[in-house]
Each structure stands twice: as structure tokens, then as C-alpha cells.
Structure 1
Amino acid sequence: MVHTLNQSANVAMDPPFHEAYKALLGETAAVPRGSEVVTVEEWELPVVDLRRLKAVAAVEVEECKKDIIKASKEWGFFQVLNHGISNQLLAKMRAKQMELFKQPFERKSKEDQFLNFSAGSYRWGTPSATSITQLSWSEAFHVSLSDILGSNGSDELRSTMEEFAGKVSRLAQKLAAILGENLGRSAKFFVENCVPSTCYLRMNRYPPCPVPGQIFGLMPHTDSDFLTILHQDQVGGLELVKDGKWVAVKPNPDALIVNIGDLFQAWSNDVYKSVEHRVVTNSKVERYSIAYFLCPWSETVIKSKCEPGVYRRFSFREFRNQVQEDVRKHGHKIGLPRFVL
């Protein structure tokens, strides 16, 4: 049986999931018992108070850095407090994001015309899905920072995005430098290779889903970057793998979430962990989040200085192209295992 949503004001703004995935939604009745997304235990991520980085005592600064490094090794995820982005800016960014997603679907799908974002910035669902387990019940604006820089206050959404991106970029550079220096690498690497025009903001909306136990908001995956910084609302839904099992991340209104990406895992020779994570759906409440991705130039070469190396050297372009090819062929990302020596 194909599940349908009640008629509501959301219909005009929601992507046409039911029409596009009618056949896949029909599979839900045939999903074997035990294959549903099960409820998992809620855990709190490690919390790092970045105010300590400005402490007078050098020992306190070093302890803060050690906490960042430890969480990156053991969890691949952590939360940061006193991160330099005000609650007022976060609230304004969330309000503008929600206002954007409330636009009719037909208008959102023409984002290059009414927002001047690059074509393809607006995304929804999983176009390559061939089974119900590959379908993501979400929509997003995946925007290059080059699309929003220099707004000069001409558009409130773009100027708010630019202000947010500027602050979160500095935070990402600070954290990457700490993690890089622990490996004996110069902080200049990130300044030179991860410039604003190579990085992205991704605004996410997860609409209520009629079959939340069988469809993800975002499929299990790892991030194809160095670092991701996430601001999420209080609905919850983010889950990650810890000690071989899925755990739910308890929302913290005062914190930003940081996670290690594939490039940092390869660059660190597996010292830091790019951990699989996913978003589960909710049948009644929509969820919003915004992520910043610290990415390098396409030709930036990823190579660990450690010997023996776990991965062969590769460019970010090569990695990204391989991911895209695997998604087309297999319906999901394979990632770093493709580059193991």
C-alpha cells in the first residue's frame, strides 16, 4: 500500500516525494520484519568549551586542545561551547532558513533564478534510489560560499548567510589548525587550501515522514571533507556509530556539533575518525539544520606523512568523482575503502 500524507499547507512546499517514489513507497509493505530503523539510546557527545583557548594559563589552553584531539580520535564527533557565534545570529539564520524552505516547491526548484545560487544548489530526496533503504526524506540548499560572498546587505538571506559563514569559517580553520599541528603539519595548509570559495553551507529541512521507521531523513554516510560544523534544532534525529552500534545525539541548544570528514581521516592516516552517521525521520515534526563543510581546492592532494601509509595519495577531485560514480552505480557512497593501499 502506498502511504499518503494528509492535505495541508505543507503540500505546496514539500518536494513531490510520493509521486517520484511511488513504486519505492509501495515496497514498505514488503519490508521484512526486523529491518526497520530501531530506536536507539540517546547519548551526549563530548563537550569542549573553547573559551579555554583564550585562557591566560598555557596549561589550560593545552588541555582544551587535548580534549579536541581526543574526541576526534575516539568519537569523530564532539560539541563546542563558546564558539564565537552568537545565539542571535544562529536564531536569525534559522529564521531565514525556515522562511526559504516555506517557499513553494516550484519556486525552490528554480533557485538559480530567484536566489542566484548556482544551478543544482537545491536538492531533494535521492535521485539515484533503487530501494526504500536508499531514499532520503529531506530537501536542502547546498550552496558554495562563492554564491553568497559580497552580498553587501542587498538581500537579508544572503547577508545573514555570509555573516554566519564568515564566523563558522574562522571556527573551522581554528579547529583544523589544532588537529593539524598535533600531526606535525602546518596550519598554513588549511589557510591555503580551504578558502571560502571551496567551502559550502548546506541548509537542511526534514519534512514529516509517513513511514519514519523505514525511511531515513539522510542515509547513513560519512562526510567527504576535512571538517563539518553543524547547527541543529531541538527536534533531534542525528545518529552516529559508536563502539559498533548506532547512538542518538542528544540536542544541546548552546553547542555546535563538529565532526571529522574523510579527508582528515586519510590525511591523518586514521588517527582521526570519519564516523558514519545518519538522520532518522519524524512522523509529526519537521527538523532543520545547517552545516558548514571545510573543503579544499579540487586539485589539493591528500597524503599522510606517516609511514606506512594506509591510503594512496589522491586529489580531492579524484575522491569526489569516485564517490559520485559509486553513488550512480551502487546507490550509495563507498568512500575511503576505495583508496586503501
Structure 2
Amino acid sequence: MATMKDIAKLAGVSTSTVSHVINKTRFVSDEIAERVNNAAKELNYYAPSALARSFKTNRTNTIGMLMTTSTNPFFGEVVKGVERCCYHEGYNLILCNTEGDVKRMRASVETLMQKRVDGFILMCSTLESEYSAILERLADVPVVLMDWGPISYPCDKIQDNSLRGGYLATKHLIANGHRDIGCITGPLYKHQAQMRYQGFKRAMKEANLEIHPHWVIEGDFECEGGYQAFDKFKQHGTLPTAVFAGNDMMAMGLINAAHEQGVSVPSDLSVMGYDDIHVARYMTPSLTTVHQPKYRLGKAAVDALVARIADRERDSQVVELEPTVVERGSVIPCKGNDQ
């Protein structure tokens, strides 16, 4: 019966490399992996099942991720980073969509627990009020939280600095001479939406600019929210010269509505987004926005969880990634204002 040592000799690699390829415990280049797999086939080698290995090592090399999907491509771009980093770390990823439903979230947790995943990544900001019960259920499992608000539970947390992001976005509009600035927030019960709005208010206060209540509209983080916000701006007569939208999806909806009603972006209305989703640069006009390092968010979550799996006693960490402004075509200097 062939052994890993036989495969290593035939493939011209070390035995440890063969083990990593067969057990998927570490990233190995495609060329070497192919040589190992071809040698294994030639020698009729049969690897022990994943289930058998898990009983021996008490590891399944599998991570479970719970998230609430949306039409917003932001989430898909973060998941792409998580999946790619799992692959490089030798982990499989099981992705569960909660669809914002508490029962579905709890059922997904139970399913993943039954599959004996080594750890959880949670990205379900729509279910913030449910975190206590969920985290209590996961008390004995490594957990990393993404995109959730302040939580006292001792686990690793990965988040963007939304307060600074909202501040930088508004400062950019002010630097371009805008004084009459509106804001479309996300749902304000969500921590990230609230922080971006607080950043907007801080920048306006620093510049001694008035915040007009009818130019602050609570949206839904979807295109429809931005689309409807434009009608609400119009109902109050005079439009602001610029609007900070709490994410790119709402900015896109706002631009679409403005175009339909003959308002030119950016000539009549400058628009600032948040997230820097992939399609933002391909809009007309291309969207000025706040960049979130989505791949790095995903990588940071996987890195933190893998470290936690390896060492349950390590101190909990909060990793906060810094946003930056990306200047494109949807913001121009305000007409009539000296720069």
C-alpha cells in the first residue's frame, strides 16, 4: 500500500508538502499540487476521509461564516477576501445567508455546530439585537465579529472606522467649497450608519456649517433608499449643492433619480458615496467615495480566527481599518465659491 513517503519520492517533493496537499492544511502552488495529486493517482493512494482526520485531530479545517446578504456588492467583495484567505490558510469555508431572519440565523448556527466547524465569522449587522443569545451559544467556539457595533463579549472584532470615514467624506465636500450639504444616512439603528452620520455632523460643526433637518434623510443602504431620498429633497424646494450618501448603493440611486428629473451630477449636485464597490469607478459620472479595504477586512477576519483557533487563550483584539477618500467625477468645486 502506497504511503505519503512514496508519493513524495515520485513527485520530487518533501513528505510534509504531500501532507499539506492531501490534507489541505496549507497553501501549495498549483504546479506542485498537481504533481502530488498525479503521483497519488499513479500509486493508487487513498487519503483518509476528512471525517476520520477530524476525529483524530479534533479539527475539521472548516470555518463557518454567517452573513446577511444584500444587493450591495460590498458584501460579496468582503466574502471574496474571506474565501481566498481561507484557501491560502488551508481552510474550507461554509457560507450561510441569514436573510436578516433570526430563526434562520439560529438554524444556521446549529447546522454549523453539527458540522464541527473550527470557528465562526459573523457578519450580520441587521441582527445586532440578537447577538447576546447567539454568542452565548458559541461560547466554546472561536468567533470573529465583522461589522457589528460595540460589544462587550470577549472575541476578536474587525471593523472599519466609520466615524472617520463619514468625517473625511464631508470634509472633502467642504474642501470643494460646498456649504449646503445634505446627508442620506443608512438605517440609524445600525452602528456603522450611526457612526458615518456622526462623522458628517462632526465635520459640519468644525466648519461652522448649519445642518438643515430636511436635508438629512434616513435611507436603507440600498439603491431604493437613495432614489427616494432625492424626491424628499425636491419636496423641500431648494436642493443642497452636495450630498454625502452613507454607502455607494444609495449614491447610485440618488444619481439615477437626479438624472431622471433633469438634475445634472456633478454640475448641479455633487454626490459622495461610501464603500468604493467595484462598479463605482464605472458609473457615469464615476463615483467619488470613501474606500473600504474590503479584501483586507476579509483577510483580517480569517487571520484573527486562525490565530484564535491555534491559541484559545490569546487576548481579544479589535482590528480597525482606516478609510480613505477616492476622488473621481461625481464631486466638483461648488459654483460661486472661492477655493
- Structure of higher RCO (CA pairs closer than 8 Å, 6+ residues apart): 1
TM-score of the aligned structures, taking structure 2 as reference length: 0.22
**Higher helix proportion (structure 1 or 2):** 2
**Higher strand proportion (structure 1 or 2):** 1
User: Which is greater in Rg?
Assistant: 2
TM-score of the aligned structures, taking structure 1 as reference length: 0.22
